[in-house]
């Protein structure tokens, strides 16, 4: 009988110790969770989100269509069409497409871009109801 009462007391004590920890966090500690999507956390600048192509100060595309990014991409989700502009005799892209349905956000394309014009954004919530919506072209990828 006595051992039975001791067991009950030990159980009650461990319950009180657990509740003390719970109440301490509930009443005195700052919440570590946020009410997503109403609140959003800031992500680190090195976050690998969707890709963007940067332009120069004049709003001209820096990318010269060297195709290195599409060649290093392990899943071959970057495609582009390249032409030589007779106006300035420079190589340019007439189309540049990334299929984010296949992209694994490895960052190899960004690291290998010799012009440093391909960057990751900090966007972590890019979604679509269909696969076509995950394919972005120059109208969305080039940031002027
Ligand atoms: S992040 Fe990786 S998978 Fe995505 S486009 Fe770049 S190289 Fe390809
Ligand atoms: S590696 Fe850079 S410069 Fe070359 S095609 Fe890709 S984005 Fe353009």
pLDDT tens-digit map of 39-89 = 998 899 999 999 999 999 999 999 999 999 999 999 999 999 999 999 999
Q: Is 10 helix (H, G, I), strand (E, B) or coil?
A: helix
Residue 46 within any structural domain of the chain: no
Q: What distance in angstroms lies between residue 56's CA and the mean position of ligand 1's atoms?
A: 23
- How many independent structural domains does the chain possess? 2
- Co-location of 138 and 92 in the same domain: yes
Q: Are residues 67 and 127 in the same domain?
A: yes
39 domain residue, yes or no: no
131 and 69 within one domain: yes
Q: Verify whether ligand 1 is closer than 6 Å to residue 23 (CB atom).
A: no
Residues in contact with ligand 2 (CB, 6 Å cut-off):
53, 63-69, 113, 115, 117-118
Q: Domain range spanning residue 3?
A: 1-32
Asked if the peptide bond before residue 37 counts as cis, ω within 30 degrees of 0, the response is yes
pLDDT on residue 32: 85
- 102 and 73 assigned to the same domain: yes
For a pLDDT cut of 70, what percent of the chain falls above it? 100
Give the model confidence (pLDDT) of 74-131 as tens digits: 999 999 999 999 999 999 999 999 999 999 999 999 999 999 999 999 998 899 999 9
> Residue 84 falls within a domain, yes or no?
yes
CA nearest to 52, candidates 96, 6, 1: 96
* pTM, to two decimals: 0.80
Residues 25, 86 within the same domain: no
Centre of ligand 1 to C-alpha 63, Å, is: 16
Tell me whether residue 40 is in a domain.
no
């Amino acid at each position: 009988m006595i051992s039975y009462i001791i067991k009950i007391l030990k159980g009650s004590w461990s319950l009180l110790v657990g509740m003390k920890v719970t109440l301490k966090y509930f009443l005195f500690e700052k919440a570590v969770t946020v009410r997503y999507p109403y609140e959003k956390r800031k992500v680190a600048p090195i976050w690998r989100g969707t890709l963007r192509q940067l332009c120069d100060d004049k709003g001209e595309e820096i990318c010269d269509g060297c195709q290195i990014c599409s060649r290093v991409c392990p899943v071959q989700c970057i495609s582009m069409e390249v032409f030589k502009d007779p106006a300035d005799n420079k190589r340019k892209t007439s189309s540049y497409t990334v299929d984010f349905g296949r992209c694994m956000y490895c960052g190899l394309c960004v690291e290998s871009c010799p012009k440093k014009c391909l960057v990751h954004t900090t966007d972590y919530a890019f979604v679509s109801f269909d696969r076509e919506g995950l394919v972005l072209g120059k109208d969305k990828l080039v940031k002027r």
